[in-house]
Amino acid sequence: MNSALQIKSSLHHNAYVTDDMEAVRKFYEEVIGYSLVATWAEKAELFGRERTYMHCFFDIGDGSCLAFFQFADSEDQAEFGPELAPSAFRHLAMKVDQPTQDAIRDRIAAAGISEPETYILDHGYCYSLYVKDPSGLLVEFTVDHDDVDAINAERKRQAHEELANWLAGDHTPNNTQFHR
């Protein structure tokens, strides 16, 4: 890859739409443990008409945030969200350590959240706790395998070759560690 194309960045925020901001606030503050750090109420000309909305930011622990919008007008709410139909393949993955994942798992259980709203997968290269938030967003809290640096180095070394194989029709799995 051309090194001139490499960029350095960090996440500022990732935004979603909810129709129940208080349920989202309770989930992220009281269950997960992220702090509400800003609530912005706004009125602006957007996409051809004036919209009144608010968005809340929850700090994920490194200064970056999850943000959620809610609209005052039901027509705006229907137009912009909540997000697309839920899918396990459309999710947000948060990297945590094992004690943090354990604490989140315990708080989820204490909040009465159970399958199918939460589940665990051992991907081989990481161990993941999944939970659906009140807006329908699937959030993954992942702990890397102890050998993550070696695993990542090997995947990076083979990434282009494996992509080419897949695109050419060879769909042979390369993750022999994955189990549910």
Residue pLDDT, tens place only, 5-52: 776 777 889 999 998 999 999 999 999 999 999 999 999 888 899 999
10-82 CATH: 3.10.180.10
Opening angle at CA 122, ends 157 and 169, nearest 5: 50
10-82 and 85-180 share one fold: no
Boundaries of every domain in the chain: 10-82, 85-180
Radius of gyration in angstroms for the set of CA atoms belonging to the chain, rounded to a whole number: 19
Per-residue pLDDT of 67-125, as tens digits, reads 999 999 989 988 887 765 666 667 888 999 999 999 999 999 999 999 889 999 888 88
Count CA atoms within 13 Å of residue 56 on its CB side. 19
Architecture of domain 85-180: 2-Layer Sandwich (3.30)
Sign for the pseudo-dihedral over CA of 148, 144, 137, 46: negative
The arithmetic mean of pLDDT across residues 58-64, rounded, is 93
137, 84 contact by CB (below 8 A): no
